Amino acid sequence: MTPKKPLVVGIGELLWDVFPDQKKAGGAPINFVYHATQMGAEGCAISAVGNDVSGTEIIMELEKNHINNYIEKVAYPTSSVLVELNNGSPTYTIVEGVAWDYLPLTQQAIELVEKADAICFGTLAQRSPVAHQTISTLLSHAKEETLRFFDINIRQHYYHKELIEASLEKANIFKLNDEELELLRPMFQLEGTDEEVCQWFIRKYNLRYLILTGGSKFSTIYSPEEVSTIPTPRVTVVDTVGAGDSFSGAFVYSILTGKSLREAHQKAVEVAAFVCTRQGAWPAYNF
């Protein structure tokens, strides 16, 4: 009998990453779904696009890449984000008032979340009251055992302490990078080593895992019982767009299919390194 594929869901921003020479589909929670699907999960994206050509094109892109989706069409434009690369590292210019800022709550989305084995969400898609309320309500319908993966993914000024606290209350996995950790120290009035701060978040919010990434240097995954640190492999970087999301998707899929923390961490590191050698957030896998 073939084992049932885990169901992973990404809720939030769906957008076009616009590079100087081309555009590619993206958005952190949707990237997560793409990579978990490439690993072998059943994935589904929940987001919104405009009733415009860009929206039609991005839904076609999802379907071409075998990403199931519950994408609502709303009376706001499909999101595009300008991406500038400096030695492969991206900076983003994100505009407001786009379709996913008005993500509606639907019964179809609720029923999907009720079945999900893992759900990914972040801060960016919760910048508007409408989308924040939709995401909060959807998360309230998740099963107790569902992996609720909060990738803080701070962009521009679209975050505040109350939003981060509310998201942590709903999460059981928390992912952030070393720069974001430094931002949270004064916000939460925390001192001590990185490990002490990370363990504080685990205890405070009863997390199963906390993932701390350090770009080209390292990544560390904490749980209440163990710690795994792996140096970042050296590869020829084309761009790092979507690399963190690929790490997340690979880690969650590995945990859902019974791998140990260390095994799941190793797979996540390998997948993220591969994605850095390709352009865009959704490269075709060749392994």
Domain-embedded: residue 281: no
Tokens of 89: 């590292």
Residue-wise burial string across 86-113, b where 16 or more C-beta atoms lie within 10 A, e elsewhere: eeeebebebeeebbbbbbeeeeebeebb
Domain-embedded: residue 75: yes
pLDDT band at residue 37 under the 50/70/90 scheme: very high
Q: What's 247's domain CATH number?
A: 3.40.1190.20
pLDDT band at residue 88 under the 50/70/90 scheme: low
Integer-rounded Cα radius of gyration of the chain: 18
Paired sense of beta strands 118-121 and 89-94, if any: unpaired
Question: Which amino acid is it at 111?
Answer: E
- Give the pLDDT score at 180: 97
Domain-embedded: residue 30: yes
Domain-embedded: residue 284: no
Domain-embedded: residue 286: no
Q: What is the pTM of this model?
A: 0.93
- Give the pLDDT score at 59: 95
- Give the pLDDT score at 85: 75
- Give the pLDDT score at 92: 78
pLDDT band at residue 222 under the 50/70/90 scheme: very high
Domain-embedded: residue 242: yes
Number of domains present in the structure of the chain: 1
Span 60-84, pLDDT tens digits: 999 998 899 999 999 999 999 888 8
Question: 253 lies in which domain range?
Answer: 7-276
- Give the pLDDT score at 2: 57
- Give the pLDDT score at 1: 55
